[in-house]
Structure 1
Amino acid sequence: MGQKLDDVDIVENSSTLFKYLFPFIYFFLVSDVLKFDEFPKIIKETYYRILAFNNVLIIVGLITGAFFLTTYKGPWRFGYDGLIFAQNEASFVFIFAITTVYYRRFYLGIKEWMFWIVLLPSILVATKGIFLYLIVLALFHILIRVSLVKVLGILAGLLTFVYILLNSFINEILLNSYAVFMYMYNKGGLLFALLSGRDQFINEKLVPLISGYWVFPNYIFGGQEVKDYYIEMGFFDLFLFFGLFGCIIYLYVFYRIFSLIPFERKFKIFFALSLLLIIATAGHFFESGIAGLHFLLMLLIIHFSIKQKNQEMVSKPK
């Protein structure tokens, strides 16, 4: 049987539709900016200042324990994300910021304090998405860009020094993360712990929706009551909202936008796979205006950073 119209929250679903489409709407402005000869400095400077201000608030939160600056609602989980209200959005905001400063530093040779201003506070956000991305980025960096023997020696020395200096603080993060993980593992198993319980939503929400309410057109065009059937896993929610046909169109448009980021080939493949993995296991990317905005800011900054670098190389005397 089909879902009754009076069961659907039109306002909530309309709001979610706008959130899904927001990155594409904003991209119309971005596509015009990409045609500029130079990047408007005010955009990058404003972006950097907002990141720096929020990261200062993360440090303030760490020192004061201010509840409104924490990543998680409950007091049992460690994490501070400043003024970013949704933890999944915080993950994507920092993933795009980390990617921006990392690529500028190691691929374009642009050394800036923002690299550390972004990287160090991101650890304090303490979401699985950020930890996962930092780990795979470190592995990618070691395997692709650095001699393994050299990096192991440097890394061992650096980690030892940092641990000696900040051992009580690091222990708090690690022990808290481990305790939370083991609690989730004992409660529901490995998959439950890795997905923060989202695997249960498949049985409790997705299966009842598509088996009890959906009819054939829903599989093609979707039909999700967001308030009751939000799975919090990006591709599941995208399929439920738009259906197979809409999902394909949506991902194709997103792919065309993603293809405009002029990353080096190996890094682009790495970043795409990492992003897909995190989107697949977390919500609040496709339907987040904040995450979409930061994704497009990353695109703009990298595009013009490469363009400026190329111009500098051409203008250098031979």
Structure 2
Amino acid sequence: MLKLLNQISFYVRFYYVEIIVFTLFAVDAYSFYLDSSQGLEERNRFSFFFRAAVELGGILMIFFNKTYKKKHLYHIIILIALPVMWLSISWMINDSYSINTYNAFQIIKESNKYIFPIILFWTFSLSSSKYQFKILEIIYILAALVVIYAFVTDNSLFYTYGPRRFGYKPMIAAHNEISLFWIIGIVYFLKKIKDDFNIWNLVIISILLFASILLGTKVILLFFTCLTLWLLIDVVKLSFFLKGVIFVLSLFLLILFVTYTGVYDFFKEIYISDGLLTSLTSLRSDIFVERVIPTVYSWEWYNFIIGGYYLKLPIAEMDLIDLFVFYGICGSIVYFVLIFGTIFKFDLNNRLAWFFVGAYILIGSLAGHFFTSGTNAAYIALLCLFLQKGDKYYNLKKV
């Protein structure tokens, strides 16, 4: 019995990344099933509690192994402290303002979403297992096959938006975070092809590309546009004429897709009823007017430095705006210093990595649910470790 326990302990310590990542995926898949079959309120999603346990365990591992730089630890403390500061100041100077446990918890939970990928990044960097990236590949292949199956059989369980609009999603309940899920997988397998160009990797990324476009979101279409332009301008060595032909062909396929699937008709209706800007931003421009402007208008001077308060988070579902409203100028700067010193600390010649960073910030700023995606935190951490494999920064050292 003791020998068995020792073996289990060894496998858990050696393969903890694989266990964590696959369990997170399984928990999300079960939450997806409950949400799709019978409905699941956000506050009852038990995946949050599992992620909290993973984060707590990761923090203990990080401190015992000193897998961090002190300055980055200070950055994290600042990001946790700023919301507490403006929450406390608002309570002290505003007689009409009251703090309840639920709102305070939501604010602390929101601030934690910004640092969760960094915690996992440090935690995963301690692993010496050669299979930590294999589990990521298995998850993406499985998710892609499920989506293709759902498309072929028209399984309503996997509808992204229900019957009103085209789209099929994998086993993830939060549909607004799935676009980032696919972007991470595509970039990962692009790196695989770059390192090892073979038929198997080409087949896998082809399956992923097809499954991701079946999601039917504007975010994925925007990412495909950015990816095509980047490949043609910075990567592919072809004549200007051939690049033009490929671009026109890609544009034609894009138009064919949005027309055939009904995506064009859906947004045309919004355009007719609410205008072009509302259609392009999926109502986010209206949310900006209704939430952001009144919130900022009611701010005191210090809120521009440390952030402010709004009952509903995220406030605008556009990450740069949400970041500024939540953290102010000071916190926003600290956040970018932190991520560019940890998960986005790539060699300047790592073009694919910097393309991902650019897409992450650009698309996230327009679409939201990138900077604070709890669902994708583990996948981002693994992707960034994988992209850093060839960089001199891969082995983290304490300062």
Q: Tell me the TM-score normalized by structure 2.
A: 0.65
Structure 1 residue aligned with 2:191: 103
Query: What SS does structure 1 have at the residue aligned with 2:266?
Result: helix
Which of 45, 48, 51 is the aligned partner of 2:140? Answer: 51
1:17 aligns with 2:121: no
In the TM superposition, residue 117 of structure 1 has moved relative to its aligned partner by 2.7
**Which residue of the partner structure matches residue 386 of structure 2?**
301
Offset, 1:121: 0.8
Does 148-157 or 194-203 show the bigger shift?
148-157
3-state secondary structure, aligned to 1:216: coil
Q: Secondary structure at the match of 1:47?
A: helix
Contact 2:305 2:328 in 1 (8 A): yes
Instruction: Return the match for 2:267 from 171, 181, 197.
Output: 181
Shift of the 88–257 alpha-carbon distance from structure 1 to 2, 3 Å rule, reads farther
Aligned pairs for 1:1-318 (under 5 A) are 2=94, 4-6=97-99, 9-33=103-127, 40-72=129-161, 74-105=162-193, 107-111=194-198, 112=201, 113-144=203-234, 145-148=236-239, 149-150=241-242, 174-212=260-298, 214-227=299-312, 230-262=315-347, 264-304=349-389, 306=390
Amino acid at match of 1:95: I
1:84 Cα deviation from its structure 2 partner: 1.7
User: By how many angstroms is 1:266 displaced?
Assistant: 4.4
Compute the RMSD of aligned alpha carbons. Answer: 2.9
- Kindly provide the CA deviation profile for residues 274-308 of structure 1, in whole angstroms up to 9, marking residues without a partner as x: 2222011112112112223222111122333x47x
Letter in 1 for 2:224: L
Between the aligned residues of both structures, percent identity stands at 27
CA deviation after TM superposition for structure 1 residue 175, in Å: 4.4
Partner residue, 2:25: none
Distance 2:140 2:133 in 1: 11
Rate the CA distance shift 1:157–1:128 in 2: closer, same or farther, 3 A.
closer
Range with bigger deviation, 175-184 or 192-201: 175-184
Letter in 2 for 1:21: I
Tell me: CA distance 1:49–1:109, structure 2 relative to 1, closer, same or farther (3 Å): closer
Alpha-carbon shift at residue 91 of structure 1 (Å):
0.8
* C-alpha displacement of 1:253: 0.4
Going from structure 1 to structure 2, the CA distance change for 1:231 and 1:277 (only over 3 Å counts) comes to same
CA change 1:273–1:300 in 2 (3 A) is closer
Q: Cα 1:56–1:209, aligned 2, differ >3 Å: closer, same or farther?
A: same
Deviations 1:206-227 (A, max 9, x none): 1111223x22222222233352
Count how many residue pairs are aligned between Structure 1 and Structure 2: 290
Amino acid at match of 2:159: T
> Take 2:324 and 2:171, find their aligned partners in 1: how far apart are those partners?
30
Structure 2: runs of 5+ lacking an equivalent:
1-92, 392-399
Q: How far is 1:239 from its partner?
A: 1.3
Distance in 2 of aligned mates of 1:110 and 1:70? 34
Q: CA deviation at 1:245?
A: 1.1
State the 1:65 CA deviation. Answer: 2.7
**Residue identity matched to 1:80:** Y
Contact conserved, 2:160 with 2:168, CA < 8 A, in 1? Answer: yes
Letter in 1 for 2:164: W
How far did residue 114 of structure 1 move?
2.4
SS at match of 2:207: helix
Question: What letter matches 2:144 in structure 1?
Answer: N
**Residues 285, 108 of structure 1: alpha-carbon distance in 2 compared, 3 angstrom cutoff:** same
